[in-house]
Amino acid sequence: MDTTTRVGLIGTGLLGQAVARRLAAVDCRVEAWNRTKDKALGLETFGVKCVDSVEKLLSRNNVIICLLSDADACDEVIFTETRLSLIAHYSIIIMMSTLTPEKVVEQQLQARRAKLDYVDMPVSGGTKGAENGTLSLMAGGAKQSIDRLRPLLTHLGNVTRVGDVGAGQLTKLANQIIVAGTLCLLSEAFTLAQRGGADPIKVREALLGGFADSSLLQQHGERMVESDFCARGSAAWQLKDTKSIMALAQQLDLTLPLTDKVNVLFSQMVAAGDGDLDHCGIIRQIQRLNGLSI
């Protein structure tokens, strides 16, 4: 990408805001739009221009980054014939939302009919990764399309082409199997330590640097033992992903016994009223099952 690159970012939730701030900090021209306008306005302090209509954003930018919450929102906001026609031919849509492989293939076909390029690119690393430029970007699409984006996206993190459109979402679902499952295992480990009389804070410190160490132990593990469940990524959205994983596993005739149990645990957590908490709050559900105070 070069100085003619004009980035329009749609969806300024926690991750969208962090992505917009990061790109603006490295002198990218960034405009943003959000359905709830107030969520976007604070970005202007960081050099991001907030526009008052999605039509305006689509018509003025040649790289469209989508970070909307789900497929229905994407269809409503971008993937209509009228909205797609507003985007200049040969512009590129970067789908960073977590959707299903089937949905992004469908979106790519719609984009092609409108003479637009499309890349399936979910991310992992959360707001901290976006702020530090250390996201993992899982790219599905044509190699030349992804290579075209590398000068821009390397400001956000590491871009890996994993296959054609759809492969990015498959990789993200694989990522979510590991993330959700590990959070449940960390919850069980700290609960075992607590019931046995050890200090979970010290247990976590002891595990750092060993084979059990991970980014999740370092970051989410710390929040678990400190009972910091302010949502960076909510349990409700984690459940959306585990449900998608189990639905896809059924389509592929796969048995995923551990992920099946993880899906049940997050379903129970949300049903108990904790859906708005961070997904590391799954420890509350493990404690609830064991009669521990939460």
pLDDT of residue 233: 86
Tell me the catalytic residues.
172
- CA dist 272 and 284 (Å) reads 10
Beta partners for residue 31, in sequence order: 8, 49
Tokens for 1, please give them.
């990408």
Mean pLDDT of the chain: 95
| Alpha helices (H) in 45-166, listed in sequence order | 54-60, 71-77, 81-85, 101-113, 126-132, 143-153
Each residue of 208-263: pLDDT tens digit? Answer: 999 999 999 999 999 999 999 998 889 999 999 999 999 999 999 999 999 999 99
CA separation (Å) from 273 to 7, 230, 265, 281, 283?
Answer: 38, 14, 13, 11, 14
Is the pLDDT assigned to residue 292 strictly greater than 90?
A: no
- CA dist 3 and 41 (Å) reads 25
pLDDT band at 3 (very low <50, low <70, confident <90, very high): low
Nearest C-alpha neighbor of 278 from the set 219, 211, 229: 229
**69-88: average pLDDT:** 95
Could you tell me the domains of the chain?
7-163 (3.40.50.720), 170-289 (1.10.1040.10)
Each residue of 34-77: pLDDT tens digit? Answer: 988 877 888 999 999 999 999 999 999 999 999 998 999 999 99
pTM (two decimals): 0.91
